[in-house]
Copies of this chain bind each other. A is one copy, B any other.
Amino acid sequence: MTAKILDGKKLRDKIFEKVKAKLTNMQNKPTLAVILAGNNQSSRIYVNNKKKTAENLGINSIIIEYPENVSEKEILDKIQELNKNDSVTAILVQLPLPSHINKNKVIESILPQKDVDGLTSYNSGKLFAGEKPYVYPCTPKGILLLLDEYNIEIEGKHAVVIGRSNLVGKPVAQMLLNRNATVTICHSKTKNLENITKTADILISAVGKNLVGEKYIKKDCVVIDVGIFKNNSGSICGDVDFENVAKHASYISPVPGGVGPMTIASLMLNTIELFENKS
């Protein structure tokens, strides 16, 4: 192995130390409200993890739980209430929502000033226009923080993003473009994927299946693995064939311990940014 590890855990811990110190000096604390609807077990684990992390740092948190059959109106009414409640800093709707609920309508109902995931049209429109949204989406923000921590140059580099979700692929492509990278977005309809990824200086894979083998990258590429899932034998893995890709990459983010911890670090940073922006 020649690649250096992009250590998300280490950077997360460093960020958390700063956040804790900052919060100790604040008289009022921010409050993160999380809406969790339905019985998705992974969602429940994520939400509990967010709550625990927030509280460890001194951020107040509320979880509002709904059964699978909750009505859309109930959620929309709750968001209106949270929008109006001055003691609530940040609102997060844990995805996925039950399938009978219009996800876009729910997200759009969040006040942009409290939209901690940066997913409302107002915030994504600002990002798209190269202007400052209230906050940047958590996973893309975490990826940029990780690249910056290791002083990886972005300007003028060819960044290839695999995946075009609103949560990761599209916003990270936009943020890299705003930082003067040349950016290519690939996805399930891309032909000859390998030919494109092999031209990448920075490769970001956000697909959720084992895809990126050593043939997909050129020597000294920086590889960011956003995928996280359980393989057939039950172990947690990412999109990238870590062992073989690491032989050729200059930097690589592991799964777990790479982008995952940075996403939650960004969520906490975003909560504080919204709080400071308000006051």
Contacts and interface: CB of A to CB of B under 8 A. Distances in A.
Nearest to A121: B125
**What 5 A-B pairs have minimum CB-CB distances, sorted nearest first?**
A121-B125, A125-B125, A184-B184, A180-B189, A124-B125
Given A123-B125, A166-B129, A186 B191 contact: no
Contact of A191 (B126, B182, B185, B191): B182
Interface in A108-135: 119-131
A220 to B, nearest CB: 15
A190 interface: yes
B156 A191 contact: yes
Interface in A151-202: 155-156, 158, 164, 166, 170, 174, 177, 180-187, 189-191, 195-196, 199
Nearest to A157: B191
B187 A185 contact: no
A125 B171 CA distance: 11
Copy number in the complex reads 2
A158 B185 CA distance: 10
A180 B187 CA distance: 8
A184 B182 CA distance: 7
Contacts of A232: none
Contacts of A199: 195-196
A224 to B, nearest CB: 18
Given A125-B121, A125-B122, A186 B190 contact: no
Contacts of A155: 189
A189 B156 contact: yes
A277 interface: no
B189 A128 contact: no
A104 interface: yes
Given A183-B185, A185-B177, A129 B104 contact: yes
Nearest to A186: B182
A180 B188 CA distance: 9
Contacts of A184: 182-185
Given A123-B125, A180-B187, 8 more contacts: A121-B122, A127-B128, A129-B166, A155-B189, A158-B191, A164-B177, A182-B184, A182-B189
Nearest to A191: B156
Contacts of A166: 128-130
A164 B156 CA distance: 14
Contact of A158 (B124, B156, B177, B196): B196
Interface in A193-226: 195-196, 199
